[in-house]
Every structure is written in structure tokens, then in C-alpha cells.
Amino acid sequence: MAITLSEQIRQLYDASSGLWEKVWGEHMHHGYYGRLGNVRCDRRQAQINLIEELLRWADLEQAEHILDVGCGIGGSTLYLARKYHCLATGITLSPIQAGRAKERAFEADLAGRVQFQVADALAMPFADESFDVVWSLESGEHMPDKRQFLAECYRVLKPGGLMILATWCHRATEMALLTEAEEEHLEAIYRVYCLPYVISLNSYLDLAQNLGFKNIRCDDWSTAVAPFWDVVIDSALDWEAIAGLVQAGQQTIEAALSLRLMSEGYAKDLIRFGLLCGIR
């Protein structure tokens, strides 16, 4: 019997999160290598730099309660809770990730201010107007209904609250539609990383405007983050990573063997790293 997309995503992250943390660290997202992509630094520092640059770009100076949508093992959630001395809630489809995130919150002495739970971002188990910040770092690409995802972010935000979204996109199509080769490239990425589809940053902008977000800003940081994939490819050749891949299973091995799909996607200007922020 065919399994649902949510189940595929859960299985992917249940199987791979332990290996990712062991080899690549707590942050399960791109790194930032300067606007021109030419700043060289440690991979884990580059990931922290991405968080800081996003916060600076979105002009987030303070927060009371942050929702981290697609929290992984709690890397961003804990980082934001410490930085802003605030409450933070993280949601993920993966019970393994949620369990590890709770352990890490306890280890960081943040269990009193940070909580994690398994939840669907398209039907969040929170009351309207619960958070003053919604943070989504590389989870939008997994959403099978992009409009519903943004609608849920809008619903749980307090009036005046800020959404900060960074997600995988494909290139703009106003001047030229995707070619058959580009569609095939994207389909290969979808299969490996359990994605339903991605859209252009302009499409995200249209959705946010139609839902009522105000003071919307967009940006494209593809050049700044693209070097990350070559760094990960190099690190995947380490014996510790290879041994971990064998233990993690076939799905994780396929994802590792397909890392070049993303690297080549950036090189061909097909894959884009889109930013969107807006106020309810």
C-alpha cells in the first residue's frame, strides 16, 4: 500500500537525523557564505551565520514566543530561545526529531521555556494568534499545499506578528517556463528528498499578499548559500559518514548519493533559495 507524503517525510528524518547530527551538527539547513558566496568558514559556523543573517535581514529585535515550523532536532529553536530569552515551540513530523530536540532542550537547561511536538504544519494544533514570530527555515518545500501552509502561519500569528520564511524554490518563470530537462531535474530532487513540488519566490509573494500579510519583503540568497552543497558532498566522503549511511538505510543512502542534484541545480540557476518575511 502506498504511503502518504507525510509518512515518507517522517521516515526520511527518523532515519537520517541521528547521522546528520553526528556528522554535520544540530542545524539541518544551508550555510551562509557571504552575499557573493565567496566567504570561506567552518560548515557549522556558516549555518549559524545563516540564522544571524536572516534575523538581521528580517529586522527581528525582540520576541516573546517563537514558533519554529519544521524544527528538526531543535537547532534553530534553541538558538532563538537563547538569543531572545523567549519562549519557543518547535514542530516536526518526525517523532525521532521531536524526542531528540526535547533531550537537547533539557541538556541546554531550556526545557522550561522550549517545547517540541509532532504536528502537521498544514493543521497546526495551536489557537489563533498564539505567537509573535513564526520562523520557517527550509520546511516550505515539504508542504503539499503552499497556500494552506502560509495561511496557517498567518492564523497562529498575533496581529503585528512577523513571519520569517526561507525555502527552496525554482527559478522565476515569468520570462520562460521550465523546460522539460528542468522539470526532470526537479522531479529527481522531489523523489529523493520527499518533496511534493517547489514554486518560485514570486509565487510565494503572491500567496502572502493574497492572505493579507503586510510589509512583505523578498530576497534571493542562492549565491550566498550554494557553496554549502559542495561542502556537504566533501564531508560525506569521510569514513564516519559512510559508516553512518550504511546504518541509516537505503533512503538515507539515496539522499546522500543525490547531493549533486542540488549542487547542479544551483549551478544551472534552476534551484533558488528564497526569503520572505511579512507582518500579520
10-residue mean pLDDT profile of the chain (280 residues): values are 87 87 88 95 93 98 97 97 98 97 97 97 98 98 98 98 98 96 96 95 98 98 94 66 51 64 94 98
What Cα–Cα distance (Å) separates residue 41 from each residue in 52, 68, 273? 15, 26, 20
50 and 278 Cβ atoms separated by less than 8 Å: no
Domain span at 124: 5-279
Residue-level pLDDT at 239: 46
Residue-level pLDDT at 257: 59
| Beta bridge partner(s), residue 210 | none
Residue-level pLDDT at 246: 46
Please state at what angle helix 259-267 crosses helix 180-193, rounded to 10 degrees.
150
pTM of the model: 0.92
Residue-level pLDDT at 234: 73
CATH number at residue 255: 3.40.50.150
Write out pLDDT tens, residues 241-262: 545 544 555 555 565 557 889 9
Give the H/E segment covering residue 271: strand 271-279
Phi-psi sector, 34: left (phi>0), alpha (psi -120 to 50), beta: left
Which residue blocks in 157-200 are alpha helix, DSSP H?
A: 180-193
Query: Nine-digit cell at 224?
Result: 550566498
Instruction: Indicate the number of domains in the chain.
Output: 1
Query: Nine-digit cell at 57?
Result: 535581514
Write out pLDDT tens, residues 147-177: 999 999 999 999 999 999 999 999 999 999 9
Residue-level pLDDT at 254: 62
3-state class of 257 per DSSP?
helix
